[in-house]
Structure 1
Amino acid sequence: MAQSGFTRIRSMREQLSGSDEKVATFILANPEEIRSLTIQGLANAVGLSTATISRFVKRVGFSSFREFSLSLAVVTQSDDTFFGEIDEEDDTSEIVKKVFSGATNALESTVNMIKTADWTTATKWLVEARRVGLFGIGGSSIVALNGYHKLLRTPLDVEQHPDYDVQLMQAVRMRTTDVAIVVSHSGRNHDTLTIARQLHTNGVKIIAITAYPQSELAKLADLVLASAAEEVNIRSESMSSLIAQITIMDSLFTLVGVQLGDKTQQVVDHMRTAIEGTRE
């Protein structure tokens, strides 16, 4: 099922600024009124031009204002509980469904936010890199480890370590011919930023995976692959974002694997043979 405009805007809220943020705020604050407004009516209501409104609807993933307007006519459960707000009276089934719904919405919104050109660029950089380093602190280290575990199945020369000091030393040794994938949900973690600044100083291409594309990490990066996130009660917003970020990493692995074709298959076959030899 296609996402409604309300759901899409909520998923991208943290990434919007200026006039886009103004339009988004008005739409979310006036859900009933917006359904009956024309593009000119919305432009008048927020004090902006129709061209600005047109750019906004395309930025949130719709080809035209008409498509966007039609999407607002269908109210889905996720419009009210985008990432599964948990209520005290929810039973076991409802809680589980909301958690799964949050994950599904995060994945759908994330894939709609990342441009095909950015996937292509990231893949090209990784395939051509002398070495690929994966960096992440705390919860983000899970995403980095997942990427390392997957990319080991390709011909790429990859490295990853959970310890911050070791990560910083790895960053010091990286060169302009290398590529770094730096993961941070907030994009504000102090240790992660220290690593990113070192990579930036060394001229290393940085691919940032973060839920906040306006963060300091994103500004240091050469390419940002943004994951959707929205603050929810009880459980952290980063839970759904974590699932989306792991899927971003899996997508990079798949794109690289397909690009390198037979070479990847050879690595996979060798690894499978080695692993099978350890089993009874």
Structure 2
Amino acid sequence: MSQSGFARIRSIFEHLTGSDSKIATFILDNPAEIRSLTIQELANAIGVSTATISRFVKRVGFTSFREFSLSLASSPIVQNNFFGEIDPTDDQTNIVHKVFSGAENALDATVNLIKPQTWSTATKWLLEAETIGIFGVGGSSIVALDAYHKFLRTPLHVEQHPDYDVQLMQTVHMTDKDIAIVISHSGRNHNTLNIARRLKEKNIKIIAITAYPKSELAKLASVTLASVAEEVNIRSESMSSLIAQIAIVDSLFTLIGVHLGDKTQSIVDKTRLTIEASRE
């Protein structure tokens, strides 16, 4: 099931600036009216050129304005309910497909948003760190634990704990030779920001994983790996954002593992043997 124009715009809305943000806002605020407008009429209504509209359409993943317009016309108007994109008439198959489509959209948008240099910088810092502290509270603690679980399979020294007070204690022992991975979907969780501020005060580089690159966490971070998510519900804990963030962690783990080569393979083998021995 292909993703609608409305869904694609929502998935990257927080990352848009300038004319793109203006166009996206107009389209999302006028879902019924927008369906019948030509590219010239849309440009006139927003106060931009048709060339600007064309660039925007391609940026959200469509080859032409016609394809984009047809997508809008065939998409049901989203109602402001708990499950957003889910229509009351959807059957089981449609619901499942929409959930999977949201996840696919989040992954596609995320990998296209993060620049190669950002991956390179984050990987370099992690490889050079004496200790990697991984931080996340609430729903983000799931991603933090996943990162810890994966990085244990590398030669890197990593620390992670789900309890907020213990995480604060972690920051006390860290130095400017260490690196912190701080995870927050919204980038504005009070406890997470408290941790990030303490890390910054100690001149510890922060790699932020958040869906909001303009958030307070992103401002505190040295590098931000932005996860994009289609909001399939009105909760801040987006399901598709969680999947995108785990994919970011997987990518960092793989980049590190490939770089360290045999050293990583040796630890992976030893870990596998240890776990298998415990099951006998």
The answer to whether TM tops 0.5 is: yes
Partner of 1:243: 243
Alignment RMSD, CA only? 3.1
Q: 1:53 to 1:93 in 2, by over 3 A?
A: closer
Structure 2 unpaired stretches of 5+: none
Paired residues of 1:84 and 1:102 also in contact (CA < 8 A): no
Instruction: Give the 3-state SS of the residue equivalent to 1:75 in structure 2.
Output: helix
Determine the C-alpha separation between the residues in 1 that align with 2:129 and 2:64.
40
The Cα of 1:72 is off from its aligned counterpart by 1.6
Alignment partners' CA distance in 2, 1:248 and 1:203: 24
Checking the alignment, whether the CA contact within 8 Å between 2:185 and 2:237 is kept in structure 1 is no
Using the TM superposition, give the Cα deviation of residue 230 of structure 1 relative to its aligned residue in structure 2, in angstroms. Answer: 3.9
Higher relative contact order (CA 8 A, sep 6+): 2
Could you tell me which residue of structure 1 aligns to residue 198 of structure 2? 198
Task: Letter of the 2:91 partner, please give it.
Answer: D
In the alignment, the residues of structure 1 paired with residue 73 and residue 253 of structure 2 have an alpha-carbon distance, to the nearest angstrom, of: 33
Change beyond 3 A, Cα 1:61–1:204: farther
1:206–1:222 Cα contact (<8 Å) kept: yes
Aligned match for 2:39, one of 33, 37, 40:
37
Report the TM-score when normalising by structure 2. Answer: 0.84
Are residue 136 (structure 1) and residue 136 (structure 2) matched?
yes
- The AA in structure 1 aligned to 2:170 is Q
Question: Matches of 1:163 and 1:181 in 2, distance apart?
Answer: 16
1:253 corresponds to: 253
Name stretches of at least 5 consecutive residues in structure 1 with no aligned partner: none
Q: Which segment is superposed worse, 75-84 or 201-210?
A: 75-84
Give TM-score scaled by structure 1 length.
0.84
Q: Report if aligned partners of 1:61, 1:112 keep a CA contact under 8 Å in 2.
A: no
- Secondary structure at 2:252 match in 1: helix
- Identity, % of aligned pairs? 65
CA deviation after TM superposition for structure 1 residue 179, in Å: 1.1
Q: Distance in 1 between matches of 2:191 and 2:242?
A: 19
Distance 1:42 1:77 in 2: 14
Conserved in 1, the CA contact under 8 Å of 2:35 and 2:69? Answer: no
CA distance, structure 2, for counterparts of residue 78 and residue 154 of structure 1: 48
* CA deviation profile, 1:93-151 (whole Å, cap 9, x unmatched): 33222222222222122222212221121111111111111100011000000000001
> Distance in 2 between the 1:233 and 1:195 partners?
28
